[in-house]
Structure 1
Amino acid sequence: MFKNRLYIIENKTSLHVGSGDANFGIIDKQIQRDAITGYPTIHSSSLKGAIKEYCTYKHNIEDSKNFISYIFGDEDNSGKVRFIDSHLLSIPMRSDLNPYCHCVSPKSIGQLLDFADTFGLELKNRKDLEKFASSIALDILVANGTPTIEDEQAKTSSGYDFSALEELVGSPVALVPNTTYDELLKDLPVIARNQLENGESKNLFYEEVLPRKSKFFTVISEPNYLNKADETKLQNAFERFSGYLTDNDTIHIGANASIGYGICTFKEV
């Protein structure tokens, strides 16, 4: 029914994709989070809107007047491409031996494996990833050394092939226990912002952000049940769409583009 493509999204600058929920705590504007895991997420509607804006900018309408409506839909018809929520795969955390480590958890790797099963995707080094997902270690594990990561002492482990993670999220990488990971994700950076009117402060508010170099995974699906009349035309549109996503340009996702938030890249896995 669908050809599914797996993408890794990396935010090159701080990212704020707002939840839009009313909040009566200290943080006025919180980021979107998954309802089950509590991990940061990018809802499919936010992702689709950002990608549509980017493709509209990239596409020369003289090449194909119907490209945007084929992919994203219009007032009369729904789009042909299916967008799925993006889920957190890794987040950078401060370390004493490196500026940061790309940190994953058994739960975040488990979600990736679950997506692969759901959408019929083959993952390189799957057996190694399954081992990370089933880890019950109580310590942060790394391939070399004993760095301190966010005030937690990590331990070296030779029982895992960390290169399998490095291919996905980069190096150095650390496996963080689920409970520790959950706690760290509750304490993301918060930035104070000030609303000005004619140079006068009107409203001080606090905004939660995801640090740069975090990585999400998502699946974008293209239908393979096209009728013959549309097949060639739409297949060309799908290839063009995939090319736009993975070219050298960056895509803006979320709020505050004018101050440099949300600059992201896509990589197909």
Structure 2
Amino acid sequence: MYKTAKLMWIYTEHPVHAGAGTGVGAIDLPIQREAVTGWPIIQASGLKGCLREHFEFLAVKKGDTVGQQKIVEAFGHNAAEHGGALAFADAKMLIFPVRSMRGTFAYVTCPLALQRLKRELESIEQSGGQNLALGLDLETDRPTEEHIWVASGKNNTVDSDLTIAANQSHLVGLEELSFTAEPKSIVETLGDWLEKNAGSLPWLKNGPLHTRLAVVSDNHFKDFVEMSTEVVTRNRIDDATKTVAKGMLWTEEHLPRECVLYAAVFASDPFVASSARQCADATAVMNFFANDAEYTPKRVWLGGDVTVGRGLVHLAFA
């Protein structure tokens, strides 16, 4: 039984290729996506693997046998003698960066993404984790297809770096789409909550975070995460002919820089005898994973193509 839990934030500083194998569509090597929503995810097995690699590298580098035992207790025994005390959920999309006519790009989310985050926060609290209540009412009001929610200032005015004044209204241009800006206090509330609970992430902002945040409809968010990922064409050159080798031209999909994902991490007591443990209980396991000054990662390399600059992500815990 899991006795404590934390929320792990993942911020993509480099494009990330969490691959789904060979594709059957226009993209040869697509990224992982949910079957129901079509939104990008990073599967838990990939998260666990890259994190374990980070911990093991540090333990070997330090010659830390105690740390190596803690890693076995937290992540599991390689010989399958026992499982790990940590359990990881898939990393889910919360904020997707979208090109903007004003402000360069916007941190975009939608009501469905926020509802799913609220549900994840409830599961963390029910598993012994901190109460990170989001405090947003998403049941009674949602942006229409023509509108985009931005932060509201004094007297319900627009407080956003993304808007363009037009006659009596404000517009926001994202990719090839134009939206009418609607000031909403919920955007400022979300920005304040993120700065409190994910403030160590490398946000790109000139002032308060809410000035770059925007909430669109679920349908538009789905379009953005499906159509606005990075797709690159790669090849391999034949050394003899100095031309593209036969069959060595392919396309790869990546999560772009500045995405924000989250994953719940749960901890139980280690599955070894109490007398042999280096981590006494679930709390000690979680502290080793998320709060250890020597081991807890700030950045890790995640997914494929790391030798060509893909996969650097920034981590934070709440």
Tell me the TM-score normalized by structure 2.
Answer: 0.76
Provide the C-alpha distance between the structure 2 equivalents of 1:231 and 1:242, rounded to a whole number of angstroms: 16
1:194 is matched with which residue?
235
Aligned to 1:36: 36
- Aligned residue in 2 for 1:243: 291
Q: In the TM superposition, what are the counterparts of 1:57-96 in structure 2 within 5 Å?
A: 57-59=57-59, 60-64=62-66, 65-74=68-77, 75=79, 76-96=81-101
Secondary structure of 1:49 counterpart = helix
Alignment match, 2:168: none
Partner of 2:12: 11
Report the CA distance between 1:142 and its aligned residue: 1.5
Q: Please report how far the alpha carbon of residue 132 of structure 1 lies from its aligned counterpart in structure 2 after TM superposition.
A: 8.1
Pairs within 5 Å for 1:209-224 = 209-223=254-268
1:192 match: secondary structure: strand
**Seq. identity, %:** 21
How many equivalent residue pairs? 266
**Aligned-residue offset at 1:237:** 4.5
Name which of 147, 150, 158 aligns with 2:175: 150
Kindly indicate whether the alpha-carbon contact (under 8 Å) linking 1:8 and 1:217 is maintained by their aligned counterparts in 2. Answer: yes
Select the residue among 293, 298, 303 that pairs with 1:254: 303
User: Following the alignment from structure 1 to structure 2, what is the Cα–Cα distance between the partners of residues 134 and 51?
Assistant: 39
1:224 Cα shift? 5.0
Q: Which deviations, in whole Å up to 9, do the C-alpha atoms of 1:114-142 show, x marking residues without a partner?
A: 11223325224x222x3389524322222
Structure 2 residue aligned with 1:159, among 161, 177, 184?
Answer: 184
- Does structure 2 retain, via aligned residues, the 8 Å contact 1:140–1:153? no
Give, in whole Å, the separation in 2 of the partners of 1:134 and 1:123: 22
**Mapped contact 1:5–1:268 kept (Cα < 8 A):** yes
Q: Give the gaps of 5 or more residues in structure 1.
A: none
Contact 1:142 1:155 in 2 (8 A): no
Q: Report the aligned-residue RMSD.
A: 2.5
Return 133-142 or 76-85, whichever deviates more.
Answer: 133-142
Q: Which has the larger radius of gyration?
A: 2
- Which residue in 2 is equivalent to 1:108? 113
- Using the alignment, how far apart are the partners of 2:190 and 2:255 within structure 1? 21
Q: TM-score w.r.t. structure 1 length?
A: 0.88
Letter in structure 2 aligned against 1:4: A
Q: Distance in 2 between matches of 1:99 and 1:41?
A: 25
Aligned with 1:137 (options 135, 144, 147): 144
Query: Secondary structure at 1:158's aligned position in 2?
Result: strand
Give the Cα separation in 2 of the matches to 1:173 and 1:132: 20
* Partner Cα distance (2:37, 2:24) in 1: 22
Partner Cα separation in structure 2 for residue 209 and residue 182 of structure 1: 16
Q: Any idea what SS the aligned residue of 2:291 has?
A: helix
Structure 2 Cα separation of the partners of residues 193 and 133 of structure 1: 47
Alpha-carbon separation, structure 1, partners of 2:30 and 2:292: 30
Matched residues in 2 for 1:93 and 1:255: separation?
A: 23
- Cα distance 1:232–1:118, how it changes in 2: closer, same or farther (>3 A)? closer
What residue identity is the alignment partner of 2:64?
E
Change (3 A) 1:149 1:48: same
How far does residue 82 in structure 1 lie from its aligned partner after superposition?
A: 0.7
Cα deviation, 1:7-47, whole Å, max 9, x if unaligned, reads 11101000110012x42322000000112211100110011
Equivalence for 1:174: 214
| Contact preservation (8 Å) 2:236, 2:249 | yes
Residues 219-249 of structure 1: per-residue CA shift (max 9 Å, x gap): 1111158875448545545322213699574
Flag the 1:183–1:49 CA change in 2: closer, same or farther, 3 A: same
